[in-house]
Chain A
């Protein structure tokens, strides 16, 4: 009761004083959760996304809260449990998950990414066949580019490896350079970023066809107005000086090109992903 009275008094004072709260915040106090795939480890992923989410919140007037899962499975579980409204993922292009009603409104504009199988630069392994019977690390069972694409290829080549999940890409790579696994399946963009940050060298044994980077998606539960506001804020970052600065700083932190930005997408670019689900082994769908 007291709270309601206080809010009413404050609104009256603002009108009398000609002062207004930011329109979006004042109009709607709905909080949305944004869950990106944990690509770099929790801390670095948070360091990348927090400034961006803050900027988008401020710019769009739609309150977004970052919700990072420890693994890629966590992010997917948040989606399945309807605990998040916005995601940055490529896990939702299977025929079944596309029926969940999530829509692509943008994507990160980076050079094409590849699913790759790599070994350390000084590794004696020269061919995929030499990995037979050895441990190979992947970020997690939900990682499409980093796990499903490479592992499907290994299966198609008849290379039977022992799969080890590192939780995320950095975890998998840490196992490679500590000698626990012989090779790593990964996303080329994340592999390059890691090598750049940690001054490591690796050798690529296999590389998939070029793929688009992950997509910005919104749940069908989000009202169109909020979805559009959030989408405009993401997609307009590159046109705004502060937005560019936020993107530049965030990209530099994870080893991406500082000019990386978000651009509009209708989801049609992800045909390669959808095609994968049509031909992939059942246990990888």
Chain B
């Protein structure tokens, strides 16, 4: 566009001329381009034509020239060239031989038309010489060269171009003339429009008259549009004039300097001058301002809207609202202004009056709002619409009503409070400023006497001054005090008050007054005091009762201790049968009496809420079997089967109170045995729930006794209750057993219930919640393969058969159970299976177990004879010779624990052959056997009977006894002498056993004396007593009445420790590494590690079942094996056990524990040598 701009200046002004010029340029361009294209095409064509002609000619000529050149006929060559040149477009033709000689022919004719030089040069530049080698048979003879005549080619082309140029020019001129005439006629209409300007302005133009008949339609429409616009403009102008004349507002139009050029009738009225007078006046001079003249200085451009107050002297006041609007011409320049004036004098005055009134009201309202703001909360004010008078009035009304309502409520509350409470108000100095009637009534002071007085007037003296200071401190800090206090009335009487003292805070947050609201609680206080007194009296009585019971227990148990102990001592001497019988009755009666006393003691503990259970680790299986074994004697005496069925997967090591479990079992099984004449008593234990570290077991005691009627089943758990009174008369008993049992079960987290049918028996079920160690070993690892072996079970008791088969099946064995010996014999004789072991019940109708064993020992069973284990629940002790003759490997006494059965089977299969083994009867503990080592015993006992009993026992066991009658004497004796052990009673005059023990331990610690074992001996059977003993530094605890065997075991243990076979610090690992052959270790270590738990278990069972022969054999075997490992301390203990068992001693539990400890230490050192896998059963 920028380039084309200078050309615009060349444009003609006339539309006709412009269109004509455009046409001319366009035509010229087309003709020029056509000519150029034509020239180019002809040029290229001409070049191509002559080149093609030259190629053809050169080939033709070359052929002729070749022939002539070969023979050297250069004349023919020349003639040939001349012929070729004739009529051609070549300048010359030449043949040049290899020696440089040439035959050349030159054109003679000249071009008729002389072309322009530029054209000739341009063609010459495109035409090259044509060279053609003249070769024949691969040999060169020369070259043929043709040179073009460029002027001839150019002349031909020039003639053509000239003719074309002339034709084009003629065509162009004709075209220009042809277009000029119609263009001037059609577009000339527009120019003629200028002549009708006045008709257009007036809207009266006649289009038909103006336009030529053949005017184009676009021009005709344009004229019609002009005509319509002019008509509309005229109509609007007339309407505007009428409007301006009719309106009440004055309208002035001015020029751009503000001089009036038009004024409508209203303007002449407002300014009081005619239109002519106003014409030419400056509008600013028409609107003077009193004392100002601001408008005159105001530029017109800034005068948009202005209120003008025409307050002239001597004339009425006039207020005008004016607005000045600029008028712009089409080119954007300012053409003038329009001033509109409206007379607002009346409305302005009215507005002023209203403004004054409104200001006055607003002032009043603001004052009212300030008042309300002080009275009402902010949110209420905000919601009320602050600017609304009605809202403010409504708020005031609400406020008044609310205050009135509050006041009434307050009056009512005050009235109610005065009716109920004693109310007073104090000022900040504590002076009473208000007291209600009730206050006056209670205090006995008239209101006038109270007002202005200090509140200390009412102090009773019951409370210390600090009490009041504390109250005063609390309330002066703005906090509420609540509590009870005692006031003194005017007449000196005391009144207990439940008081609340509330500080009333001022605007600064500090207490201004205190209101005290009291209620008289004197009556309640007196009742409470009476109640407290009664409670203390009752507790005192209860304590007295408990103390009495404890004392009674102690006082009764001590002589009972003497009776039983002495009776046992006498029974150990030579007596006549009659004397022994009488003394047995004495002992039995004493033990029964002790049982009764123990029951009463337990019951009293329950009553006192002092019955507690322990949580210690114990072997559940062993505890159960040991307990039942103690009861087996009773069962045997009544020819009853006492059976035990413990699921083998029950945890062995559990946490609970074994003593109380034993007590429960003794009670329930004792009852079952007591109320059963025929049949059996079965104790079952099974697992109910198993948590992460807790199990719930259910233990059932089922009998086949008399049963209990349904209506009595609940009562029997009540104290002093049996099924009926006749029962008590028949079977005896305190009636406290089941009560105690239920309480014990509950304390152990379980419950107890009964299923019974009269005449068929009863089953007591109870559950126990016991802790257990999930990592503890379950069943012991056995050293022999049990799984897959066939076992014959013969028992007439179906329950026992079922129990045995269940256990055997659990261990992977194949039991075959038979109810009669005949069936069993038949099975052995004809059965497909060969039984490796037979479990035979000793007592069966028709044929007992021993007879069956003899039958099985007959020759006909050679090769099929099983190893025989007899299970005896009662009956005579088997003669060893007879047992050997019958092929009986072992005899077990019912109830048989799972462990016992397992151990017996292991022994039977480990023996390798079903050879007979001597069966040893149980041997009684020789309580009168002398101890291996005599101990120096300090016996501390105040009761003469107990002194006598203990001293007799100690003397009998060969110990040296020093007697002390109380703790102080004991302390002095200890200071003076050397002792191995102290047997310390707890309750003694002068100094108790606890105090004495503490003193001894204290002096040991400070005096550097070695620690002396102290064993507590007391009839105080409470758990707390035991804890007190241990806390005082005692080492062990024995309850009275003294169990002689238990005491002896403790002393023997001490004696053994003194003998130097205590656990040593022996280094087993060192001994193994340095003294034992490595090959031996590899061979036997694995087997030993697998087998020793069973060996220890066997030893322990043997001790428990008092089987000395097995104890000796087990200890002997262990001694030999341990010797292989050079385990000197363990060998020594095993040797000791063997020797003592051989000497008739069987109470060797302590020694077995020690042996087990040493073997476990050895096992720890043997673990690195382990290289085989364990063989498990079950």
Contacts and interface: CB of A to CB of B under 8 A. Distances in A.
A174 to B, nearest CB: 15
Contact of A142 (B96, B98, B133): B133
B506 interface: no
B137 A73 contact: no
A109 interface: no
A70 interface: yes
Nearest to A71: B131
A97 interface: yes
Contact of A80 (B129, B137, B142): B142
A76 B138 CA distance: 13
A80 B140 contact: yes
7 contacts: A74-B129, A77-B131, A77-B145, A80-B142, A97-B140, A100-B98, A285-B137
Contacts of A82: 100
A100 B98 CA distance: 9
Interface string A63-101: 000000111011011101110000000000011110010
A77 B139 CA distance: 13
Interface residues of B, number: 15
Contacts of B100: 81-82
A220 to B, nearest CB: 13
A96 B139 contact: yes
B132 interface: yes
B137 A76 contact: no
A2 B140 CA distance: 45
A40 B1079 CA distance: 102
A82 B142 CA distance: 10
Judged by DSSP, the binding face of A is helix
Given A82-B100, A97-B140, A76 B133 contact: yes
A282 B136 CA distance: 9
Closest 10 CB pairs between A and B? A285-B138, A77-B131, A77-B143, A74-B131, A70-B128, A81-B96, A96-B139, A80-B143, A80-B140, A81-B143
A270 interface: no
Most B CB within 10 A of own CB, among A76, A78, A80, A142: A80
A77 B62 CA distance: 13
A282 B138 contact: yes
Contacts, number: 41
Contact of B132 (A73, A96, A282): A73
A94 B138 contact: yes
Contacts of B138: 94-96, 277, 282, 285
A73 B140 contact: no
Contact of A282 (B129, B137, B140): B137
Contacts of A100: 98
Most B CB within 10 A of own CB, among A74, A81, A142: A81
B58 to A, nearest CB: 10
Nearest to B98: A80
A94 B138 CA distance: 8
Interface in B117-139: 128-129, 131-133, 137-139
A100 B133 CA distance: 15
Contacts of B133: 73, 76-77, 80, 142
Interface string B169-209: 00000000000000000000000000000000000000000
B140 A96 contact: yes
Interface residues of A, number: 20
Interface in A248-272: none
Interface of B: 96, 98, 100, 128-129, 131-133, 137-140, 142-143, 145
Contacts of A71: 131
A60 B139 CA distance: 35
A142 B134 CA distance: 12
A94 B98 CA distance: 16
Given A74-B131, A94-B138, 12 more contacts: A71-B131, A73-B131, A77-B145, A80-B96, A80-B133, A80-B143, A81-B96, A81-B142, A96-B138, A96-B139, A97-B140, A277-B138
Contacts of A73: 131-133
Nearest to A95: B138
Nearest to B100: A82
A36 to B, nearest CB: 15
Nearest to B145: A77
Most B CB within 10 A of own CB, among A71, A74, A142, A285: A74
Nearest to A141: B133
Contacts of B96: 80-81
A97 B140 CA distance: 8
Contacts of B128: 70, 74
A277 B137 CA distance: 11
A97 B142 CA distance: 12
Most A CB within 10 A of own CB, among B98, B132, B142, B143: B143
A77 B137 contact: no
Most A CB within 10 A of own CB, among B96, B139, B140: B140
B168 to A, nearest CB: 33
Nearest to B55: A165
B56 to A, nearest CB: 13
Contacts of A282: 137-138
A77 B132 contact: yes
Contacts of B137: 282, 285
B98 to A, nearest CB: 6
Nearest to A91: B133
Interface in A268-285: 277, 282, 285
A74 B129 CA distance: 9
Most A CB within 10 A of own CB, among B131, B137, B142: B131
Given A77-B145, A82-B100, A69 B131 contact: yes
Nearest to A142: B133
A97 B133 CA distance: 12
A285 B138 CA distance: 5
A119 B132 CA distance: 29
A81 B104 CA distance: 14
Contacts of A69: 131
A82 B99 CA distance: 8
Nearest to B140: A80
Contacts of A94: 138
A71 B140 CA distance: 17
A174 B259 CA distance: 89
A104 to B, nearest CB: 19
Contacts of B145: 77, 81
B66 to A, nearest CB: 12
B61 to A, nearest CB: 14
A73 B142 CA distance: 12
A100 B140 CA distance: 10
Nearest to B102: A81
Nearest to B137: A282
A77 B130 CA distance: 10
A282 B137 CA distance: 6
Interface in A124-147: 142
A95 to B, nearest CB: 8
A39 B140 CA distance: 22
A8 B352 CA distance: 124
A70 to B, nearest CB: 5
A82 B102 CA distance: 12
A211 B143 CA distance: 28
Most B CB within 10 A of own CB, among A69, A73, A282: A73
Nearest to A78: B131
A122 B96 CA distance: 46
Contacts of A95: 138
Nearest to A70: B128
B143 to A, nearest CB: 4
A217 B351 CA distance: 122
A262 B17 CA distance: 71
A130 B128 CA distance: 36
Interface in A40-78: 69-71, 73-74, 76-78
Nearest to A82: B100
A35 to B, nearest CB: 11
Nearest to B132: A73
A277 B142 CA distance: 20
A166 to B, nearest CB: 12
A54 B1035 CA distance: 129
